[in-house]
Structure 1
Amino acid sequence: MSQTVLVLEDDADIAELVSLHLKVMGNEVVKGTSLEEGFRVLSERKIDAVVLDRGLDDGDGMTLCQQLRHQHNGVPILILTAMDSESDMVEGFESGADDYLAKPFSVIEFQARIRALMRRAAVHNQWHHIPAEETDAVSDELSVGSLLFNHLEISPETHSVTLGGKTIDLTPTEFSLLCCLAKRPERVFSKDELLSRVWNTDYDGYRHTVCCAVNRLRSKLERDPDMPKYIHTVWGVGYKFREAATLHRL
């Protein structure tokens, strides 16, 4: 099934290049050059992913990202921009972006990132039109029953999370990260492992991607993110999921 990608890019040549490769992958593309167009398209039709430049005609694309997350809209977002410093990337991830790719970019890497975003979104929405080569990863994620840690319940089958009976809104990437950690309590995952398992990349320049995603998860799950109960940092190594209560598989 064709999926629809919104491309917000003010450079016509780059927009055309990105659109071409998205169409080659079998996607429908809607293009825009401004925040105003982006908000309008997102309000009028179903969008499966967004490729977002930061330097749009009427402002920083990160504004759209922040507002969507504030509205609990979990549409996958890939920021594609010439702003390539580490601080720029951290800002992008902290705004709620799922991935960040700097220009100039490799077409092969761009396509791989989009496939990974689409796969996570497809599982998150219980779609069943996933390419055959990706079904093993999806099956692994869905093979575990519900996980219950005291007041926190994680259901891989329905891609839902509740805390104290209240539904917690997570993006597909945030859910995949939480599920990866929670399925193996006390097991320490390095940032490189999480990049490979969740983001489908081994580029070490994106390790801060993991840090930002963990921080976002903590802000949603932890009463005090500075004193986490569930997601713990193992300094110099990575992260692990821990809960004092016994794990129950429902």
Structure 2
Amino acid sequence: MKILLLEDDTALASILVDYLEDEYEVTQTYSMKQALRLSEEENFDLYIFDINVPDGDGISLLKELRDFQNETPAIFITAFESTKYLKSAFESGANDFIRKPFDLEELTQRIENIKRHFGLEGVLKITPTLEFDVKTHTIFDAHKRVRLTHKESECLHYFYKNRHRVVSSDELLQNFWEFDEMPGDDAIRTIVKNLRKHIGKEHIVNIRGEGYKFE
């Protein structure tokens, strides 16, 4: 699991990185601009953002990411007591919120809850009979094992993580291809066709004029 940590308190950042790296892969930055650049260059499974950083704030950063259809789950950490920041955080697209000072185990439990909710564990049960190993890009049951291409695996995982909503072709294109390498909608249709062949067409439903929904 890859985490992008935006925290400008050097002492706290060091503690968090040392603690989290026992279980997760952590990239840490003190800068909002750097965090934005990193989010564009790499695919992260979770964002942990401080609200107040020297060159901006985590809430504005997350809102910008959401405007570009980046749906990576996010946890905010802050020393602010006012509920207005809590409201702003969730309005920007946050999934959880934790106030400083906090126990490190509490942060772990919040991360694990995000993992369960968004299907970030290594092996996911995607249908009553089929499982999906995210790391090996493999779908399997008691009788068969199919290895997906990297893009098929990424798209299936994305569908699963966003199974509560409709995902458009444009969103998939923006999340899995660089702008100058972006193919047409036919690439998404081909991936969806292949995934349906492996898991059953009833599990990826075409919502006319909007996109696809995983069921």
Q: TM-score under structure 1 normalisation? A: 0.51
How do residues 146-225 of structure 1 correspond to structure 2 at under 5 angstroms? 159=163, 161-162=165-166
How do residues 224-243 of structure 1 correspond to structure 2 at under 5 angstroms? none
1:76 aligns with 2:69: no
Q: What letter corresponds to residue 99 of structure 1 in structure 2?
A: D
Q: Matched residues in 2 for 1:158 and 1:54: separation? A: 25
Q: Matched residues, percent identical?
A: 27
Equivalent pairs counted in the alignment come to: 143
Quote the residue 1:108 is aligned against: 105
Following TM superposition, the consecutive aligned residue runs of length 4 or more in structure 1 with deviations greater than 4 angstroms are 155-158, 166-169
Q: What letter corresponds to residue 94 of structure 2 in structure 1?
A: A
Q: Matched residues in 2 for 1:29 and 1:6: separation? A: 6
1:20 aligns with 2:13: no
Superposition CA RMSD, Å = 2.9
1:129 aligns with 2:135: no
Q: What letter corresponds to residue 63 of structure 1 in structure 2?
A: S
Q: Deviations over 1:32-74 (max 9, x none)?
A: 0111110111111121111100111201111111011111111
Q: What letter corresponds to residue 116 of structure 2 in structure 1?
A: R
CA-CA distance at 1:84 after TM superposition: 2.5
Q: Which residue, 39, 49, 58 being the options, matches 2:55?
A: 58
Q: Which residue, 33, 41, 53 being the options, matches 2:30?
A: 33
- Which one scores higher on RCO, CA 8 angstroms, separation ≥ 6? 1
Q: What letter corresponds to residue 163 of structure 2 in structure 1?
A: H
Q: What letter corresponds to residue 117 of structure 2 in structure 1?
A: R
SS in 1 for 2:71: coil
Quote the residue 1:98 is aligned against: 95
SS in 1 for 2:69: coil
Unaligned runs of 5+ residues in structure 2 are: 129-158, 172-214
Q: Which residue, 41, 45, 49 being the options, matches 2:46?
A: 49
Q: TM-score under structure 2 normalisation? A: 0.58
